[in-house]
Chain A
Amino acid sequence: MAYNCVVLVKQVPDTKSITGEAMNDDGTVKRSALPAIFNPEDLNALELALQIKEKFGGHITVITMGLPAASAVLRDSLFRGADEAILLTDRRCAASDTLATSYILSCAVKRIDYDVVLCGRQAIDGDTAQVGPQLAEKLGVTQITYVEELLELDGKTITARRNIGNGWQQVKAELPVLLTVTGDANEPRVAAAKRMMKYKNACTPFEVAQRIKAENPDAVEAEIKELVANRCSKLAESGSLIKQLDLDIIEADLAWCGQSGSPTKVHRIQSVVLAAKESKQIEPNEQAISEMIHDLIDDKIIA
């Protein structure tokens, strides 16, 4: 039996390579100064979906919510083996916290026929690990968090091994389910050269419009509209059109989206400056080190 998988991915700033230049004076982060990457554990989620498809067959839809530029992670997903990519973008999504995000995603996922929803355990920009479980609740499906290995799919049920910190647990649940996948689950494959050739022009209607406007600077709006429609239908024929959705299309209740749908608000942001109150330079010789050890014994730090 084949399984339909939906994989939720996120484009994130590479927080591992933050330097001083990426911080504003008020302690906030200049997102634009950071390289945008595919959230690492979302790649593990995609890899698991690809393995399911290879073994059993089925269809993989990748969805991301983000700015128009987030289409980069969708192209990457197509290169790696996804069948279909959807960009969910809308200004009214701005300032969504995890609750609003999970609501918006649930509206998009509900439109798809799925057996398994896969998410990375957490995203490296927020490290909350909340959207997966919240989305499972909104969809009304069973969640299996911290999945390390998929053991069995038998048409009706799934068996998986999950990491429980100081050990593991094997659990079985009826489909559909939502899995959150850890970085230990697998080694994500790299993009396939053949698929990169095939999907190199894959883009969203937004990107098509941008290109057409650049190519035809003097065209009036009606002409542009027609050109965009033509180009989009050509891309769709070759499977290279990344579908683009907004909150109206997914029929989301705006009260639960963006700022109004987000109970948590930022009160204050501070940059982290950790510093010792007083510090001593110790020369790397026996006498200085012996004096330091002596100090530590005097202070009862060393017994």
Chain B
Amino acid sequence: MIDVNRKGEVWVFAEQHNGQLEDTPIELMSKARHLADKLGVKLAVVLLGDGIKDLAVKLMHCGADKVYVAENPLLRAYQTNSYAKVMYDLIHKHKPQIVLYGATIAGRDLAPRIASASKAGLTADCTDLQIGDHTTVKDKKVHKNLLFQIRPAFGGNIVATIINHDRWPQMATVREGVMMMPEPDETRKGQIIEEQVQLAEHDLPLEILQEHKRAKKVDLKAARIIVAGGAGVGSKDNFRLVWDLANCLGGAPAATRAAVDLGFIDHDHQVGQTGTTVRPSLYIAVGVSGAIQHQAGMSHSQKIVAINNDPDAPIFGLAHYKILGDLNEVVPMMIKSIREKS
């Protein structure tokens, strides 16, 4: 735990594996830049690993004023304890006021361990961050310029704004795909600070015997157009309609959790709270009822077209174009119309 420290920097944990930066912390950078500017403090990024110093330049292009680099052979592969120890030491040395992590597999493994050791607060899976004031109920004291940690809760049915006014740093993990990748500015410069790391063998209690990574079957986050099918599509065979419509638009096929659970398509294609969060220009929802968990993953789409034969389907609540009808008739009509125009 560190004390409330108004001069403290805003930090982002720059997660990398094998010299490859994860997307989520980078997505965070434009928001973090905004928070730091609002507070009038520096934005710093913490980069841990081995032989990864070159990544610092890219992080400066994405908005970092400072990059703390801790290189050590013992940090080559991510492990909870070793990374948590180094982060803990750096946090207590430099006393940042805010520390942000991507809510990735590693981020959600690491951040709570650091929070527990630091006896600091941590909010999981934020979808937005802002700076604002909070008045404590008991003593009516106003705490200015706190980090508003905004996240869905109760399966996405409510949005809670969480604050942490006394035990700092204020920490949060941020959902993948909810913030926009910053445009790198190659003229941006910053400061690289090399940090010495104190680690021993016992800080690496895990022996990593084997690791297998596979490429994702589809990159939904990069898709400009997404055609998503729900349980309403009816069968794996009929899901061909979704693929066909996606293909003729040059888009990516996607699905709801229900459609994935029914085996219509692979989990890599799933959009929603337990899948990918997307923000394409066009989202076509085919036979998707629009459960709140699904909406959480696609509500930021620029234009939404919904095709459903149920007039009460919640998806119609956020669609720009509502087509009440049989998807088996409507989708072929759409394909025909698109082919005629292109």
Where the two chains meet, the residues of A that have a C-beta atom closer than 8 Å to any C-beta of B are 13, 15-16, 18, 22-23, 27-29, 97-99, 102, 124-138, 142-146, 159, 163-174, 262-272, 274-276, 278-286, 289-290, 292-294, 296-297, 299, 301-303
Contact = CB atoms under 8 A, between A and B. Distances in A.
Given A133-B80, A146-B105, A272 B155 contact: no
A134 B112 contact: yes
Contact of B158 (A131, A269, A276, A286): A269
B299 interface: yes
Contacts of A127: 124-125, 153, 155, 273
Q: Which A-B residue pairs are the 7 nearest by beta carbons?
A: A284-B325, A263-B121, A15-B155, A167-B213, A128-B124, A137-B116, A133-B112
A270 B128 CA distance: 14
A266 B117 contact: no
B62 to A, nearest CB: 22
B337 A289 contact: yes
Given A263-B119, A274-B295, A302-B225, A172 B207 contact: yes
A171 B318 contact: no
B116 A170 contact: no
Nearest to B80: A143
A290 B326 CA distance: 16
Contact of A282 (B158, B282, B323): B323
B305 interface: yes
B322 A28 contact: no
Interface in B274-295: 281-282, 292, 295
B164 interface: yes
Contact of A129 (B115, B124, B273): B124
Nearest to A132: B112
A302 B249 contact: yes
A296 B318 contact: no
Contacts of A126: 124, 153
Chain B interface size band reads 35 or more
B113 A137 contact: yes
A133 B116 contact: yes
B72 interface: no
A169 B208 contact: yes
Nearest to A134: B116
A289 B225 contact: no
Contacts of B156: 272
Nearest to A29: B154
Interface in B136-174: 148-149, 152-167
Interface in B180-224: 205-216
Interface of B: 80-81, 84, 104-106, 108-113, 115-117, 119-125, 132, 134, 148-149, 152-167, 205-216, 225, 249-250, 273, 281-282, 292, 295, 299, 302-305, 316-326, 329-330, 333-334, 336-338, 340-341
B158 A271 contact: yes
B106 to A, nearest CB: 8
B319 A276 contact: yes
A80 B163 CA distance: 40
A99 B115 contact: yes
B122 A168 contact: no
B26 to A, nearest CB: 17
Contacts of B340: 290
B329 A284 contact: yes
A144 B340 CA distance: 55
Given A274-B317, A284-B326, A297-B341, A138 B116 contact: yes
A237 to B, nearest CB: 40
B116 A102 contact: yes
A276 B317 contact: yes
A142 B205 contact: yes
B158 A263 contact: no
Given A267-B162, A293-B338, A129 B209 contact: no
Given A138-B116, A275-B317, A170 B210 contact: yes
A106 to B, nearest CB: 9
A266 B115 contact: no
A296 B153 contact: no
A171 B113 contact: no
A171 B273 CA distance: 28
A23 B329 CA distance: 37
B155 A133 contact: no
B335 to A, nearest CB: 10
Contacts of B319: 276, 279
A39 to B, nearest CB: 12
A296 B304 CA distance: 11
Contacts of A262: 121
B148 A267 contact: yes
B124 A143 contact: no
B341 A294 contact: yes
A98 B84 CA distance: 18
Contact of B321 (A167, A173, A290, A292): A292
A275 B314 CA distance: 10
B226 to A, nearest CB: 12
Contact of B206 (A167, A173, A285): A173
Contact of A16 (B155, B205, B282): B155
Contacts of A293: 334, 337-338, 341
A276 to B, nearest CB: 5
B341 A29 contact: no
B321 A264 contact: no
21 contacts: A13-B154, A18-B157, A28-B158, A29-B154, A126-B124, A130-B108, A131-B112, A133-B113, A144-B206, A145-B80, A263-B121, A263-B166, A265-B165, A267-B162, A268-B161, A272-B157, A276-B319, A284-B329, A286-B333, A293-B338, A301-B282
